[in-house]
Amino acid sequence: MSFNIAIDGPAGAGKSTAAKNAAKELGFLYVDTGAMYRTIALYLLRNQVAIEDEDALERALEKISVTLSYENGMQHMFLNGEDVSGLIRTQEVSDMASRSSARPAVRKKLLDLQRDLAAREDVLMDGRDIGTAILPNADLKIFLTASSGERARRRYLELKEKGETASLSEIQKEIEERDYRDTHRETSPLRQAEDAVLLDSSDLNLEEVVERIVSLAKERMQ
Ligand code: CDP
C-alpha cells in the first residue's frame, strides 16, 4: 500500500515549494496538481476554447492528453506529447487555470490521473481538493494557509527578485479574487477537510513549514 499525503490550501501559501522539499526529504513523489490544470489551460488558450460552452469544452477535452514524467524529482508536464513545463507559469495561464478548473468536465478529466498516481506511489500531492475529493482516505491531510496580506507580500518579493515590477495592493487584490473563486465554486471548492491538520504559515519560514510537514508524516508512518 502506498502512503498518501494531501496538501491543500489557497494560492500563494507557499505550498509548492514546501511540498516539494518535504517530499524530497521523505523520499516521496511530489505531485503538483496545479500544473495539470495549467496544462489544460494552455491548450484552451492556444485554441481559444469558449470554456463556458459545455459542448465546445467537452470536444476540446477529448483532444487533450495530459501526461507527466519525473526527471531528477522534477515534474514535467506534457500536453499531447509536448513538454510544456516552461510555458505554464505565465499570468495568462494562471488566470485560465483558475477559471477552467471550476468546470466539472475539466476536474473529471484529471481525477483518474491523480488517483492512479497516488495508488501506485508514495505521494505528496498538492492542490485544492486533494483531501476533500481526490484522496478522501489520504494517510495525512494538511491544510496549508497564510493570511492574504502575507501571501501577497511573498508573491511581491518573488516577482521583484525576478526583476518584474508589481504593485503590492494589486497582487493582494488578485489573491483575494482568486481565493473567492476557489472557495465559492460549485465543483470541489477549496475547503479544509474535517480530518486535515491546519498549518498556518503566516509566521513560519520555509524550513519551519517543511519540518512540520515531515514530522507530521513521520508520526503517521509509525
Ligand atoms: O501556484 P498557484 O497557487 O498560483 O496555482 P496552482 O496551484 O498552480 O493552481 C492553478 C489553478 O488551478 C488555481 O487557480 C486553482 O484554482 C486550480 N487548481 C484546482 O482547482 N485544483 C487543484 N487540485 C489544483 C489547482
d(CA 188, CA 176): 18
Amino acid identity of 167?
S
- Residues 150-167: tens digit of each pLDDT: 999 998 998 899 898 889
* pTM of the predicted structure, to 2 decimals: 0.91
Domain that includes residue 82, residue range: 33-121
Ligand 1 atom at minimal distance to the Cα of residue 114: 23
d(CA 138, CA 44): 31
**Does residue 129's CB lie within 6 angstroms of at least one atom of ligand 1?**
yes
Query: How many angstroms does the Cα of residue 220 sit away from the middle of ligand 1?
Result: 27
Do residues 71 and 180 both lie within one domain?
no
Query: How many angstroms does the Cα of residue 178 sit away from the middle of ligand 1?
Result: 10
Residue at which a domain ends, from 79, 94, 121: 121
Q: What is the CATH number of the domain that holds 175?
A: 3.40.50.300
Flag whether pLDDT at 79 surpasses 90. Answer: yes
Flag whether pLDDT at 1 surpasses 90. Answer: no
The domain total for the chain is 2
Do residues 23 and 129 both lie within one domain?
yes
Query: How many angstroms does the Cα of residue 160 sit away from the middle of ligand 1?
Result: 22
- Residues 116-133: tens digit of each pLDDT: 999 999 999 999 999 999
Flag whether pLDDT at 181 surpasses 90. Answer: no
Flag whether pLDDT at 211 surpasses 90. Answer: yes
**Does residue 11's CB lie within 6 angstroms of at least one atom of ligand 1?**
yes
Which of 19-28, 29-38, 179-188, 201-210 comes out lowest in average pLDDT?
179-188
**Does residue 34's CB lie within 6 angstroms of at least one atom of ligand 1?**
yes
Which pairs from 211-214 meet CB under 8 Å and 24+ separation? 213/5, 213/7, 213/18, 213/19, 213/22, 213/124, 213/142, 214/22, 214/25, 214/26
